[in-house]
Amino acid sequence: MALRRRNAPGTSLQVPGARPRAVIDDNGGILPLSRLLTPPVWWTLAGGGAHGAVQLGTLQAIRETDLEPEQLLGSSAGALTGALIAEDPVAAVNRLFYLWADLDLTDLVGGGWVGMVSPTSFTRSSLADNAGEMASLEEVYDARRFEDLVIPFGAVATDMISGQPTVFDSGDLLPALLASSAIPGVFPPVEIDGRYYIDALASANLPASLAMRRGAGSIVAFDTGSSPDKTIGTSLQQLVPAVNALLSTQQRISSLAQAAAEVPVLYLPTPADLPGSLSFNESFTTSRDSYLLARAFLLDLAEAYPTGSPALEPGLYCRPDAFSIDSENLSRVMRPVPVRVAAGGAS
Amino acid sequence: MTHHLLHSLPSPTALVCGSGGLNAAAQAGMLKALGSYRPDLVFGSSGGALTAASMYVGEDPAQQAHRRWKQLAESKFMHLSWGRVYSAVSGKETARQTRHVEELLGELFGDADFAPGAVQSLVATNLGTGLPKVMNQGRLAPAVQASAAFPVIANPVERDGTILIDGSFSAPLPVAQAFEGGARSIIAFDTGRAGLRASQEKHFRWYDVALVSINHQVAANAAHDVALVAAQIPVVMVSVPDPFRVTLADIGSRINLGERMAREQLAGIAERWSSISDPGVYAAAPEVVEDRRLSGLVR
């Protein structure tokens, strides 16, 4: 599947129209952008199931700049990626690349996918157990405690009783990652210190406002992209995904709007034409498309704010077309970065 | 004391009635706790639409809202049957279901219109754009129907060529719409927060967890909207959390609880403040005061 798309006509890893990097700066080809962000710089990573592969691409693009995280905060799939960056920031891109190449649903839910819905399933507390995911986590991460990580990192989960977003940033790492990605209904709630936690999607799927409240000087937001709008329909199969998309879009917009009112937020662009969030076998094209989009955006940003520009003021720095929804809250804080560089092959 | 406090709010003051399904019945009791105080504007969404729509149909809004919530309790409206689930899943617009809802709302509001001068607004969600749709003209009944069109329980409603569903998916606590509508202070009836007990979690089935997650998402969006608006104007919040699975039989006790909690919370706020003019969240309920999304805003 990936090979067919990779060789599709019109696909190119060139970025047409971009000036050679040597002309932009004399930084050895590394885009100098850290000059624009007030420390401490927090990277916040959103959840999104298989759409998490978007963050591999954006991470590849950001590695061509001099931006570094001083703190990481991740929700759900973003927590899994964030912990990997925090464990080894240099190796993270390569490790993620090979992880996503291999990953499929059975690594998460085990082989029992088919037997999940059965007469007995109505009395269970979750459709799948999380033994499969725990085994995968133990295999992937070397760190066992937050304190083992090189960069300070927090995983966001939702307190199942109060609904409050909760940040785990000390003690055992793997249960916190399990809680952060405990998809409601699919995986069981995770008990930590006598309380039950579910997926961060229920309270803070893009934890930008949490990062702002915890003292970020500026924020880089790694989102996870979206699927094209389906036909508007009134049956439950059409309404449930539509309502889900509505709730999560609204949540990320208010989180970004609140953060951007106080600090500069760099919102890396993400593809809007992704397959479903459980389609793990499309991760190659997903990450490639987001790499190209993010790379073009970062070049645009460097051109719009050339060397000598002061540090960015509070606001949401994004592509003009980053959000499909026409929100008042967003328009108050948006500082669109003009698109000069076409994202080759990302169409 | 409470009366004096409410009158000190910068005008125009909007009463904002939030979502919460049947737990929104508590708002009828909350209205009673406000006594003879009358807000300048009223906004309602989802369950709160029923309260907001009752504001100008008679002399005593609290009594009007009380009567309508009790009428709802006696109806078959919320009765869930396999037939209803089947019709929702299959996408069959069962004319019978829609007719039941229309008949009930006809009984509740007759041919009454919105109060003139855009002082009364109900909010639904435009399914096509995902944006809130504010309705403040024409007949009340169809607007209530759209604002409270929660999937499975009621069918989506077509209005002016758009498909409308329950307001809780875009504006569960329509404080932002009240602010845009000119309000310079807000009294918010917050009934959409999950108020679960720790003992419940052990008995949760997977579909309960999924439903609670949706409830938390809706409440998170409400809290974010409050945070954005309370940075600009004062927002007084009265809260009765939703204990999950409120049934028609509980409506009477929810109304009583709403009245008691509102009296307690308003008295608590009035103890600390003799008048209110600065932006921020003014609340006494622990679940609001301790809400991390409002930290730095709660006074």
Q: Does A213 touch chain B (CB under 8 A)?
A: yes
Whole-number pLDDT of residue B87: 67
Strands B162-165 and B120-126: antiparallel
Q: Nearest-CA distance from A83 to chain B in Å?
A: 24
Chain B environment of A209 (Cβ under 8 Å): 224, 293
The three-point CA angle A42-A44-A50 to 5° equals 155
B204 and A CB contact within 8 Å? yes
Which of A160, A189, A203 lies closest to B220 in CB terms?
A: A203
> What ipTM does this complex have?
0.88
Give yes or no for B168 touching A (CB within 8 A).
no
**A201/B221 Cβ within 8 A:** no
Confidence of residue B219 (pLDDT cuts 50, 70, 90): very high
Contact assessment for residue A45 and residue A78, using Cβ atoms and an 8 Å cutoff: yes
- Could you tell me how far CA B227 lies from the centroid of its own chain? 17
Element (DSSP H or E) covering residue B126:
strand B120-126
Q: Name the helix (H) or strand (E) containing B165.
A: strand B162-165
Interface of B with A in 60-99 (CB under 8 A): 88-93
Position B11 scores a pLDDT of 96
Q: Quick one: average pLDDT of B106-129?
A: 94
Write the residue in A165, A236, A237 that is nearest to B152 by C-beta. A236
What string of pLDDT tens digits covers the 347 residues of chain A? 333 333 343 444 555 445 545 445 555 678 999 999 999 999 999 998 888 889 999 999 999 999 999 999 999 999 999 999 999 999 999 999 988 887 776 666 665 554 555 656 667 778 888 888 899 899 999 999 999 999 999 999 999 999 999 999 999 999 999 999 999 988 999 999 999 999 999 999 999 999 999 999 999 999 997 777 666 677 777 777 788 888 888 899 999 999 999 999 999 999 888 877 767 777 888 889 999 999 999 999 999 999 999 999 999 999 999 987 777 888 889 999 999 877 664 43
A16 touches chain B (CB under 8 A): no
**CB-based contact, A239 to chain B, within 8 Å:** yes
Check A185 against B231: CB less than 8 A apart. Answer: no
Q: Does A198 touch chain B (CB under 8 A)?
A: yes
- DSSP code of B149? -
Q: Give A224 to chain B, closest Cα distance, Å.
A: 18
Choose the mutation target among A193, A229, A246 for the interface with B, i.e. most B CBs under 10 Å.
A246
CA pair distance A263, A217, nearest whole angstrom: 6
CA distance B36 to chain A (A): 34
A-chain residue closest to B297, CA distance: A213
- Check: CB of residue A218 under 8 Å from CB of residue A172: no
Nearest to B134 by CA among B101, B167, B112: B167
Nearest to B227 among A189, A203, A258 (CB): A258
Nearest to A325 among B131, B197, B213 (CB): B131
Question: Does B88 contact A236 at a Cβ distance shorter than 8 Å?
Answer: yes
Cβ atoms within 10 Å of A21's Cβ, excluding its own: 16
Q: What part of A 139-178 touches B (C-beta under 8 Å)?
A: 158, 160-165
Say what the pLDDT of residue A225 is: 79
Are the CB atoms for B236 and B273 separated by under 8 Å? no
Residues of B with Cβ-Cβ distance to A242 under 8 angstroms:
127
Six-digit token pair at B94?
Answer: 């069962």
- CB-CB under 8 Å, B197 with A161: yes
Contacts of A185 (CB under 8 A, 6+ apart): A126, A127, B206, B207, B209, B210, B213
Does A227 or B120 have the greater pLDDT score?
B120
Q: pTM for this structure?
A: 0.89
Residue of chain A nearest B197, judged by CA positions:
A161
Residues of B in contact with A251 (CB under 8 A): 217, 220-221, 224
From A183, which residue of chain B is nearest by alpha-carbon distance? B210
Pick from A123, A185, A203: CB nearest B216: A203
In angstroms, the CA A72 to CA A112 distance is 34
Question: Does residue B30 contact residue B258 with C-beta atoms inside 8 Å?
Answer: yes
What residues of A are labeled active site? 76, 199
Instruction: Name the closest residue on chain B to residue A117, using Cα atoms.
Output: B206
Interface membership of B226 toward A (CB under 8 Å): no
To the nearest whole Å, the CA of A176 is away from the closest chain B CA by 18
Q: What is the DSSP string of B20-88?
A: -GGGGGHHHHHHHHTTT---SEEEEETHHHHHHHTTTSSS-HHHHHHHHHHHHHHSSTT---HHHHHHH
Would the CB atoms of B219 and A328 count as touching at under 8 Å?
no
- Which of B213, B215, B226 to mutate to test binding with chain A, by most A CBs within 10 Å of its CB? B213
Among A295, A247, A303, which residue's Cα sits nearest to residue A269?
Answer: A295
**B244 → chain A, closest CA residue:** A161
- pLDDT digit string, tens, across residues B44-91: 999 999 999 999 998 899 999 999 999 988 886 655 566 666 666 666
Contacts of A117 in chain B (CB under 8 A): none
Minimum distance, in Å, between the CA of residue B58 and any CA atom of chain A: 35
Q: Is B161 on the interface with A (CB under 8 A)?
A: no
For residue B150, the distance in angstroms to the closest alpha carbon of chain A comes to 10
How much is the pLDDT for A239? 79
A333, A261 Cβ separation under 8 angstroms: yes
Please give the residue of chain A at the shortest CA–CA distance from B169. Answer: A247
